[in-house]
Amino acid sequence: MEHITIYQLLTLSISLFICGLWGIVVVRKNLIVILIALELLALSVSLNFIFFSVVHDDILGQIFALLVLATVGAESAIGLAILVSFYRLTSDISIDIISNLKG
């Protein structure tokens, strides 16, 4: 059985990060896609922490990855609450309508 190298793991993490950036920069159709892309970015960064923690035999990277995931989970919950309020106000979740909410 072959072992997975750190380069393969970094390739996975970089590809997830690029998919997240693509979701934020290119797609930009609605807020749900942007929230999912932000979660994907945070997941790829946390995977990097875990990979390097395993390679260097240190638990600190794994602890930091858990803290990052907890913070991103809280951010996602707040984002979804704002999304529900935005949908109730405008009955649409398109990015183009956000500029109408300026006071």
Query: Domain of 85: which CATH number?
Result: 1.10.287.3510
Q: Total domain count for the chain?
A: 1
**Cα separation, 51 vs 81, whole angstroms:** 32
Of the candidates 79, 10, 14, the residue with the CA atom closest to the CA atom of residue 40: 14
Q: For residue 61, is it within any domain?
A: yes
| pTM for this predicted structure | 0.83
**Cα separation, 15 vs 70, whole angstroms:** 22
pLDDT digit string, tens, across residues 41-93 = 999 999 999 999 999 999 999 999 999 999 999 999 998 998 888 888 888 88
What the block records as the tokens of 64 is 């930091």
On the question of pLDDT at 98 being above 90, the answer is: no
Check residue 14 and give its pLDDT.
95
What length does the chain have? 103
Q: For residue 19, is it within any domain?
A: no
